[in-house]
Each structure stands twice: as C-alpha cells, then as structure tokens.
C-alpha cells in the first residue's frame, strides 16, 4: 500500500529546545524522503531530503535520519527559533509500474514558545 503516517500532529516546544517529528512509510521500494515546511498562506518549501542509501543528513540546525529496515524517518530541529513555527510535512516516493509520485504525511503543526 501507499501510506505515510506522521506523528505528532501538533508539537509545542520552548524556544531553544529541540523538536522531533517522526514518519513511517509502508512501501519498501520508497527511496526518497523529503521534508517540507509550510507557513501560513504559502506553499510547502523543501527544507531537507534524504535518499535510501544514506542513514543521516544534516543541514545546520536541521537533520533527518532514516531507518530503512524499520521503514521510518525523522526530522530533528535543534535550537528552535520562533521562525521555525509552521506546519511540517514528510513525504515518501512511490513508484508503481512507472507511475511516480510523492505520498505525504498528514503534517505536524510546530509551535515555538518564546
């Protein structure tokens, strides 16, 4: 099946603390896992992605880890700032008989408390 589950749906974190969002996917053939940030009134923006041949990737305060065996991947944001407040979506690539698409998680609303 094509399913991506994302938890938690809402997350409140004190400014300066870390935030972790987790996703699980069902298709063992998925190879690409992007994370998007969506601010109010805007479209999603890619913040980091990871491919199946890599276990971890970091970009400044943002990191993503991937466990292909367990079929789950996580987004880690350290030293959170007010501008990190947004809705975050994970996604997994699905390729089915040549038809390719991204399947998205249901989103996590992250609120940074000053």
Partner 1 sequence: KAGVTQTPRYLIKTRGQQVTLSCSPISGHRSVSWYQQTPGQGLQFLFEYFSETQRNKGNFPGRFSGRQFSNSRSEMNVSTLELGDSALYLCASSHGTGPLVIEETQYFGPGTRLLVL
Q: Is 43 in the site for partner 1 (CB under 8 A)?
A: yes
Q: Is 106 in the site for partner 1 (CB under 8 A)?
A: yes
* Residues binding partner 1: number (CB under 8 A): 25
Count Cβ neighbours within 10 Å for each residue of 51-90 and write b for 16 or more, e otherwise: ebeeeeeeeeebbbbbebeebbbbbbbeebeeebbbbbbb
Find out whether the peptide bond into 67 is cis, omega within 30 degrees of 0. no
Site for partner 1 in 59-88 (CB under 8 A): none
- Residue 98 or 114 with smaller CB distance to partner 1: 98
Q: Is 100 in the site for partner 1 (CB under 8 A)?
A: yes
In the complex, the smallest distance separating the C-beta of residue 2 from partner 1, rounded to whole angstroms, is: 9
Please give the torsion angle defined by the CA atoms of residues 86, 92, 98 and 99, in that order, rounded to the nearest 10 degrees: -40
Chain residues binding partner 1 by CB under 8 A are 31-32, 34, 36, 41-46, 49, 51, 89, 91, 93, 95, 99-107
């Amino acid at each position: 099946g094509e399913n991506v589950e994302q938890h938690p749906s809402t997350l409140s974190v004190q400014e300066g603390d870390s935030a972790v969002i987790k996703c699980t996917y069902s298709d063992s053939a998925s190879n690409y896992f992007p994370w998007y940030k969506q601010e109010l009134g805007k479209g999603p923006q890619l913040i980091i992605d990871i491919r199946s041949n890599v276990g971890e990737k970091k970009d400044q305060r943002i990191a993503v880890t991937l466990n292909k065996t367990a079929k789950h991947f996580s987004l880690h944001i350290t030293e959170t700032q007010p501008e990190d407040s947004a809705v975050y979506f994970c996604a997994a690539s699905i390729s089915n008989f040549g038809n390719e698409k991204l399947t998205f998680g249901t989103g996590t609303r992250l609120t940074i408390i000053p």
